[in-house]
Amino acid sequence: MPHFLKDSNVRFKISENSLFAILLRSHWWISFAVAAALLLLVQLFVPAAYVIHASSLALPFLVIGGCVVWKQAKLPGAGRVAATVDAIRAMSWREFSALMEQAYRREGCSVTRLTGAADFKLVKMGKITLLCCKRWKAASHGIEPLRELDKQRDAENAHDAIYVALDGVTDNARGYIGKHRVRLLEGRELTSLLRLPGRARTRN
């Protein structure tokens, strides 16, 4: 599930900065390590009569770890990612923008083309997200286009914004993304999202 649209199918939503949300974005072993630590603490400090009940505290972290394993297993392999990146790097803007529009319509979004920093307005279940993909194959991505996208997100009263880049994202740009409601869509997630016309089979 590479993007916000999958999460919007779930009625129960958690804060993006909550512990559970952070663990869902982290490596699977971290959740399992937290669960193991909790179980160890229960064994050491909880009276025997309450061990079974207290051990249930580890269950949410085991569930999250399992979810992360399942999500990572579905991610495309390096061969497919490389083939997809090469294919879309060779596309014209007209081809690539049409591919992006089709992909989000498959996800159940209404898609409207925009002018300015954002290229598309995506709406699903009342949630608005702006998408910028016009600079997808730029050699370098700095803070300025991200700042402009964030300004347009505010102007459109959108909940989130997505910025598409194949490579060349500077450390400053990544730092900006981490502090604002802008998310980076790169090779692996982009590969999961798109369906390339006539794409040859590649090994995972």
pLDDT tens track of the chain, all 204 residues?
444 444 444 334 555 567 877 887 787 789 999 999 999 999 999 998 898 999 999 999 999 988 877 776 666 678 888 999 999 999 999 999 999 999 999 999 999 999 999 999 999 999 999 999 999 999 999 999 999 999 999 999 999 999 999 999 999 999 999 889 899 999 888 998 998 876 444 444
| Cross-strand partners of 124 | 127
Return the pLDDT at 161: 96
Helix then strand then coil, % of the chain, to nearest 5: 55, 15, 35
The kind and range of the H/E element at 161 are strand 160-164
**Long-range CB contact pairs, 123-126, < 8 A, 24+:** 124/5, 124/8, 125/8, 125/9
pTM confidence score: 0.66
CATH number assigned to the domain covering 78-193: 3.40.1350.10
DSSP, res 57: G
The bridge status of strand 182-185 relative to strand 110-113 is: unpaired
Question: Directed axis angle between helix 171-179 and helix 143-155, to 10°?
Answer: 20
Return the pLDDT at 16: 57
3-state SS, residue 190? helix
**Long-range CB contact pairs, 8-16, < 8 A, 24+:** 8/124, 8/125, 8/127, 9/125
Structure tokens at 98: 């049409």
